[in-house]
Amino acid sequence: MNNQNETITSPCNKPLHVVLFKSKEGIEQQGVQCYEGVMTFKELVDHFKAEKGSEKIGEVDKKQRDVDSKRVNGLKQYWTTSKGTVFPNITLFANSLSLKNSVTVGNKLIIEATLERNADRFIADGQGRQAFIDWLLSDESNAEFEDHTISFKLIVTQTESLSTPKAVQIIRQLFADYHVKLTKPNSSISKHFDNSTVLSRLMNDCLELQVDSYKLKSKIALHGKIKAGHIWTFQQFTTMMQKFLNLTNSTASKQITDEAQYEDALNLCRSYLTCIFRLLPIENITNTQDHEKAMFTRAIFANALGYVGRSLMDEMLLDNSIAWERINLNGIPIEDKSDSFWLEANVTMKDKGTIKIIKNTDTRIGSLICRKLRIYPCPELSA
């Protein structure tokens, strides 16, 4: 193993001519220059390549993590399934840049520049995108995508190479700033904003359901943070419906393959949700204290309702005289998680004077409700 930093020059051994906007960012305090630009897919593949893997140059000398094959495969799937692909910009480093002509337009400085063929270059963020695009264009039948573009941020260190201590430190710190210190969006907002799958689209359409005086989405924390009037987060709502439908993202796309099937699934969800939300005393949840006190606002209770709904749906398939109104929660203290009913059912426990919910008791709650309503439990509840 050759444990030394790698110098990366132009793979095609040609200079790259670019038009850049001069930008200004805090990192320039480190003595670097920042620019923004756009290049074609072909230019990215021709003039940049990922750093060698740690098995070749050693982890000690790596300035970037190894290319993640899982991430690249995800991009391949995204490309083949999305009706409108878009990629975030990539961040590139270069040790030098030849500046040519410049012009000021408004308050922006636009520069014609050349990244010389022997200039050291490095992909600090975007290795997976480069690897995917390289794979895409390796197939001659995809030549039509060569002129697709991707934007980039270019940081010029003005050092002898990108292996100097200064350059290495700046590149590694940028990686940490991007990925280590990054706060990723929670699962609720990620799923709510994503309509690329059948299941996510179905869940978002369910939220448009009008139940009496309100729309469902007004009772769901779409961004994952419970506020006054919210019952569940979008993630909790989605999980409940997955248990009701007995679907995952992958199985949903296989079982719901056309608009007719989609409308049937949506109507089924609407009927179930109308019944459930009319049963829940949601008008009593006016603040976060009410939410914390109640049992029906817990994720495990939402899951239990999903199992109960599926259990009843199985019976409805055998007997069309059965209706959703069969579900009722009378006599169950769903507004008070501290009630002795939950303690005796081993759903909650006392811990130093406080009431805590026991994990993974959603099937226990579902079984309790099915037993009370004399509904034959689905397989998950009878296991």
- pLDDT tens sequence across 268-315: 999 999 999 999 999 999 999 999 999 999 999 999 999 999 999 999
Among 351, 337, 332, 328, smallest CA distance to 300 is for: 337
- pLDDT tens sequence across 315-345: 999 998 999 999 999 999 999 999 999 999 9
Whether the predicted pLDDT of 182 surpasses 70: no
Distance between CA atoms of residues 209 and 2, nearest Å = 62
- pLDDT tens sequence across 128-179: 999 999 999 999 999 999 999 999 999 999 999 999 999 999 998 898 888 7
Residue 242: what pLDDT? 96
Residue 258: what pLDDT? 92
Residue 353: what pLDDT? 82
pLDDT band at 383 (very low <50, low <70, confident <90, very high): low
pLDDT band at 3 (very low <50, low <70, confident <90, very high): very low
Whether the predicted pLDDT of 56 surpasses 70: yes
Long-range contacts formed by 143-146: CB under 8 A, 24+ apart: 145/41, 146/40, 146/41, 146/42
Distances in Å between the Cα of 342 and the Cα atoms of 40, 192, 198, 287 are 61, 32, 36, 23
Distance between CA atoms of residues 13 and 29, nearest Å = 32
Percentage above 70 pLDDT, the chain? 97
